[in-house]
Amino acid sequence: QVTLWLKKIYGNQPIPQYEVNARTVDILYELVECNEARDRDVSLLIEDMKQKAAEYEAEANYLQGLLAESLDLSLSSLSSEGTSYLDVLVNSAMTLETKDTSLASFFCAINDMTSELYATESENREMELELTNIRKKLTAALMLEKQLEGDLKKTEERLEVEKAKADSQSQNLKFLKDKSEDLKIRIKAAEEQLAATGLNQSLTHESLVSLSE
């Protein structure tokens, strides 16, 4: 079956040499099945198109005979203006997808399209209103975000200032504590030195103040 298909494909040309094994035969067999399935689909499509063409031709002949019988008209007897009007009528019917070219069909189709147009315009207005609301909310959110960013920046700057002040106060406090400890040590050393020299306690500053009071 694969060999027959290859001969059919290449016709009078020689078939290219290929390695014959189970894998290559399986691959070629899958190609044969796909090609035959495609050919069947194309044949069905062609038959369907031929059938539709025959139906359209029969309907055209019927309408042409109807025009000739009832109105004594034929496409060849129409003027260029009449042919143009007929083309417009046919194109309009095809665009509106009417079953025929009667006024009732045209009015129904136009009413349906008008209703669809109004419905679409109403949906568009609703979508535009919703889009406007979304834009307003987005603008408000962006403004709020910008304001929050500004407040955050100010807060961070204020925190930096307060931190610098706290560091300065901490350093001053440490300096005062160290200075106080140093003074206590110096006072104690001076008192010990005065005591060692035999200073009378009644001559100290505190004793003199108490005596003065």
Per-residue confidence (pLDDT) for residue 201, from 0 to 100: 67
Looking at the whole model, is its pTM more than 0.85? no
Write the CB contacts of 73 (distance below 8 Å, at least 6 apart in sequence).
Answer: 67
Averaged pLDDT for residues 111-129? 92
Cα 181 to Cα 183: distance, rounded to the nearest angstrom: 5
* Burial track 12-30 (b if 16+ CB lie within 10 A, e otherwise): eeeeeeeeeeeeeeeebee
Domain boundaries defined on the chain: 1-73, 97-212
Q: How many residues does the chain have?
A: 213
DSSP string of 140-157, one letter each residue: HHHHHHHHHHHHHHHHHH
> Which of these, 97, 94, 127, 92, lies nearest to 112 by C-alpha position?
97
Dist CA 209 CA 213 (whole Å): 6
What confidence tens digit (pLDDT) does each residue in 155-199 have?
999 999 999 999 999 999 999 999 999 999 988 888 788 777 766
Q: Please tell me the distance from the alpha carbon of residue 75 to that of residue 61, in angstroms, as a whole number.
A: 11
User: What pLDDT shows up at residue 192?
Assistant: 81
Q: Distance between the two ends of the chain, CA-based, in angstroms?
A: 138
pLDDT for residue 209 is more than 90: no
User: Nearest CA to 67 among 91, 98, 89, 52?
Assistant: 89
Mean pLDDT of 99-109: 81
Output the pLDDT for position 132: 93
Mean pLDDT of 132-140: 93
